[in-house]
A and B are shown apart, each in its own frame.
Chain A
Amino acid sequence: MIALFLAHARGFVRDLPGLVMTLALPALVYLMFSAIFGAGSRGELDLTLAIHDGAQTPASRALADGLVEGAARAELLAGAADAERAVESGRADVGVLIAPGSPLPSIQVLSASGRTVAAQAVRAELDAALSPAEATPSAVTVRAVGPEGDMQAVYYAGAVSVMFVFFAAMHGAMGALDDRRSGLTARLSLAAGSLPPVLGARFAWMTTVGAAQSLVVFAIAWRALPPLEPLSIAAGLLTLILVAAAGSGLALAVVLWCRARDQAQPLSTVVVLLLAALGGSMVPRFLMPELFRDLGWLTPHAWAIEAYQAVLWRGEIDGVVQGAWLVLAGTAAAGFMIALAAERRRRLG
């Protein structure tokens, strides 16, 4: 038994990729996750503020300057409508309108649906700054802007569907490894004359499955969505298909770069979890530190979630949406090309 135990240990130590994935990756994931999610739970929200100082008094200017200094990102806007628009579009997490008042300026915190936590955090900070005594009534009010409805449900429909599309894509891509091992890929690529039709068919199928998965999630979330124009529905469907295509491309690239399932399974799990965490599939990105918010833009998840929010919640097809389409289509195409190169490299020596 000891000999067998030692044989297992020897095999474990000699499998360097396996060793790294078993011991180093969990630690890395832990560090990443604690950094990503830790800030929110400690109450340190890195928020983007849109501020309009309508009072223009020394006190209001001091307050606005204080907000700018204290926030991770803040924008001083000339008009109240501009601030409201920034919050509605998602460009700012929270808006702050400072109006004349006596003796203190009157302050309104603008909150879009789904940003209640952020708005309440800003309100609490303003209360603390303006009314140090606990008994003093709050001079700060909170006003909701943008469409009415269950924005959280819409947010998580996008966030969860993206995450599971990528999970399912990784699972689907594993089949390509089995086909490589059994010789089925070789057989089919000979019948077709080349590899692209064989890999392309798998890519198309995985995209179809991913799109169907997302459709099911959005069908269930349908009642939570605001009334949608046909153009918004079409844009939503396009986003959904591009998300599935991006998942398929990325999954094939990651999995086919591996030699076998024992390499691909842990690697793909880590990739999916990290992308989901950074991209806002697990918690909204505004709860993350600024560094991870910025890193989030490197993931298809963040773009997809922003695009869903814009198209399905606000009914807009703006620059963010078009950017998301480009990023998702680019991820799909690049992933597919990398997968092709990886498969050729494995097959042709």
Chain B
Amino acid sequence: MKAGADILGRRDAAVESERGGRPALVLTGVRAGYGGLPVLDGLDLTIGQGEVYALLGPNGSGKSTAARVACGLLNVNAGLVEVGEREVVLDHRARRCIGLAPQETALFPALTVRETLTTVARLAGLRGRAVGEAVERALEITAAAPRADHRVASLSGGWRRRANLAAALVGDPDLIVLDEPTEGVDAETRGQLARAVRSAVAGGAGCLMISHDAAFVEATADRVGVMARGRLAAEGAPQALLDQTFGEARLLTVRLAQPAEAALARALEACGLEPRDGGRHWRRLAADAANQAAGLSALVDEAGGEVAVRRPGLDDLVARIVEESA
């Protein structure tokens, strides 16, 4: 990615380094787990100011554990966790610099959104007019203002997600930690949340995001880290990683209503496609995917299926990297 800002205002982490900004989060050689079961195995991770960093990986790879460690919510067995150059477990000032949006909407159901944000802001140490200003700012960034005076319990899932994000932002944190921020939201809300995250980091905060929503990550993250077996298997800007991993290759997919019959299956296999889902779904990554698609389309149409060619996405990237690291 080039230095500067794209349409969502994304900035290159390298720019921040040049500006001399201290990192928002540094994890150095972190080992951690639950009850003797190791999950993180020497994780190194740095998130710069103004940077959105998305941790990707299959279930159990250690993404949520990394987020908990970053927040000081899980003790580490070895290594160092620093937020704004303060050790997060030992220094409560480091923890106060973190705004967390948990996977569940962690809000006061009986309070209005505004009351909830005010409570969090006061707890974060804001006083007087600063409280109201911070609440209004968080409401504006997340576009939650239209429901500010509604009780949380009465809100739909999308509005709760916005309020959940607003509560993470209201204390003006140096590090924002988002755990599945788009779970259960529609496309419009996803877009608003993406803009909100970008606006939030525009002020200099760093953001660590855990998400299975590839589209949201591609729209929001400056860098992604792919986790496998408790450590980073790959890291970089999303497009750079995709280019590096897949080059000019495209993904050829065939979708069938029924498992492919013998003749069709032989033809697909001859083209190098691999079956999935009991022979209903076939795929192949290839530089000449477009040509192959043209050759197969008549055969697949006849079987009532669809042929498609697309650029590989982050889901494909994660699958490839995890496969390689295994």
Residues of A within 8 A of B (CB): 179, 181-184, 186-194, 197-198, 347-349
* Complex interface bits, B109-122 against A, C-beta within 8 A gives 1, otherwise 0: 00000000000100
CB-based contact B93/A187 at 8 Å: no
Q: B105 an interface residue at 8 Å Cβ cutoff?
A: yes
Which of B73, B75, B120 is within 8 Å of A186, CB to CB?
Answer: B73
Q: A181-B104, A184-B108, A349-B35 are in contact. Are A193 and B120 (CB under 8 A)?
A: no
Inter-chain contacts of A186 with B (CB < 8 A): 71, 73, 100, 102, 106
CB-based contact A192/B124 at 8 Å: yes
Inter-chain contacts of A194 with B (CB < 8 A): 92, 95
Which of A182, A192, A347, A349 is within 8 Å of B33, CB to CB?
Answer: A349
Q: A192-B123, A349-B33 are in contact. Are A182 and B104 (CB under 8 A)?
A: yes
Chain A to chain B: the 8 pairs with minimum beta-carbon distance, closest first: A183-B102, A193-B92, A184-B106, A183-B106, A193-B96, A191-B124, A191-B123, A182-B104
Total number of residue pairs linking A and B with CB closer than 8 Å:
67
Inter-chain contacts of A188 with B (CB < 8 A): 120, 123
Q: B107 an interface residue at 8 Å Cβ cutoff?
A: yes
Tell me the bound Cα distance from A182 to B98 in angstroms: 17
Inter-chain contacts of B73 with A (CB < 8 A): 186, 190, 347-348
Question: Interface size bucket, B side?
Answer: 20 to 34
The residue on A at minimum CB distance from B89 is A348
CB-based contact B104/A193 at 8 Å: no
Inter-chain contacts of A182 with B (CB < 8 A): 102, 104-106
Known: A191-B99, A348-B75. 20 other contacts (CB 8 A): A182-B105, A183-B100, A183-B104, A184-B106, A184-B107, A184-B108, A186-B71, A187-B120, A188-B123, A190-B71, A190-B72, A190-B73, A190-B98, A190-B99, A190-B100, A191-B120, A192-B124, A193-B93, A193-B95, A348-B73
Inter-chain contacts of A197 with B (CB < 8 A): 123
Inter-chain contacts of A198 with B (CB < 8 A): 123
Inter-chain contacts of A189 with B (CB < 8 A): 95
Give min CB distance, B68 to chain A, whole Å.
8
**Among the interface residues A181, A190, A197, A198, which one has the most CB atoms of the partner chain B within 10 A?**
A190
Tell me the bound Cα distance from A191 to B101 in angstroms: 12
